């Protein structure tokens, strides 16, 4: 099973993309990255 992330920002230009934050069980950020819709395993 993968990590659960929260979309914190949605980009429309220059391309559609989503800034996603991943946290641990304590609510601390462990990663923050920008993903294109086709890079996401689940439907956005």
Confidence (pTM): 0.75
pLDDT per position as a tens digit, 1-44: 567 889 999 999 999 999 999 998 888 999 999 999 988 766 54
pLDDT of amino acid 12? 95
Task: Count Cα atoms within 13 angstroms, Cβ side, for 9.
Answer: 7
Q: In what order do the strands lie in the sheet with 17-23?
A: 5-11, 17-23, 29-35
pLDDT of amino acid 1? 57
């Amino acid at each position: 099973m993968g990590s659960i992330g929260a979309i914190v920002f949605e980009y429309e230009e220059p391309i559609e993309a989503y800034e996603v934050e991943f946290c641990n069980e304590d609510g601390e950020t462990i990663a923050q990255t920008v993903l294109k819709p086709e890079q996401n395993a689940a439907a956005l």
